Amino acid sequence: MELLFSALLVFALRLLDVPLSTVRMLYMVRGQRGVAAALAFFEALIWLIAITRVFAHLTSPAQYLGWALGFAVGTALGMSVEGWLAPGYVTLRIITRGAASALVAALRERGYGVTEVQGQGREGPVALLYVVAQRRSVRDVLSLVEAHDPRAFITLEHTTRARGGHVLERPWWSGVRK
């Protein structure tokens, strides 16, 4: 019974440290040292507790199973947590052949900064719209584009930093998906 409890504990600990690792790496890439360092501390502490449990029962296959299963499920959980938090910015490039003025007005009405450039596409004149937004706002922007021009061509790129201009700042909890 103790071995089963230990394996379940290892599994649970891996469900904590692996998602922390995923989120820590994202904050590292975005240059947020303080957050990354704090997450690294807790990740390492939890990992040490888990590996100690495994080494205490080296002959128990249940420990290995708890470790591996915790790592696998923790990876999926980490990806979900990162999606819920959606930290950082994206740049949306929207190319529309329709009248862009209504879409631009709708985006600006919602608080998004929009840069509009006129261009020439394969089939005639187009408007190129550039919007820098927080990742958690992407669904909102895409729904506005869909409502005004379902045929618009959209590309989305991760933006490392955004400064100045008109970037709509939403609280972190506004993008948390339920």
- Domain at 150, CATH number: 3.30.70.120
Over residues 76-123, the pLDDT tens digits come to: 999 888 777 777 789 999 999 877 999 999 999 999 999 999 999 998
Q: How many residues does the chain have?
A: 178
Q: Domain boundary at 85, 114, 135, which?
A: 85
Measured CA to CA, the distance from residue 126 to residue 152 in angstroms comes to 10
Structure tokens belonging to residue 78: 């980490």
175 occurs within a structural domain: no
- pLDDT > 90? residue 9: yes
Q: Can you give the pTM of this predicted structure?
A: 0.62
Measured CA to CA, the distance from residue 42 to residue 32 in angstroms comes to 16
Confidence of residue 177 (pLDDT cuts 50, 70, 90): very low
Find out whether 73 and 65 touch, Cβ atoms under 8 Å: no
The mean of the pLDDT values for the chain is 88
Q: How many domains does the chain contain in total?
A: 2
The pLDDT assigned to 173 comes to: 47
Range of the domain at 108: 89-168
Q: Domain boundary at 21, 53, 85, which?
A: 85
Same domain membership, residue 81 and residue 6: yes
Q: Domain boundary at 85, 100, 126, which?
A: 85
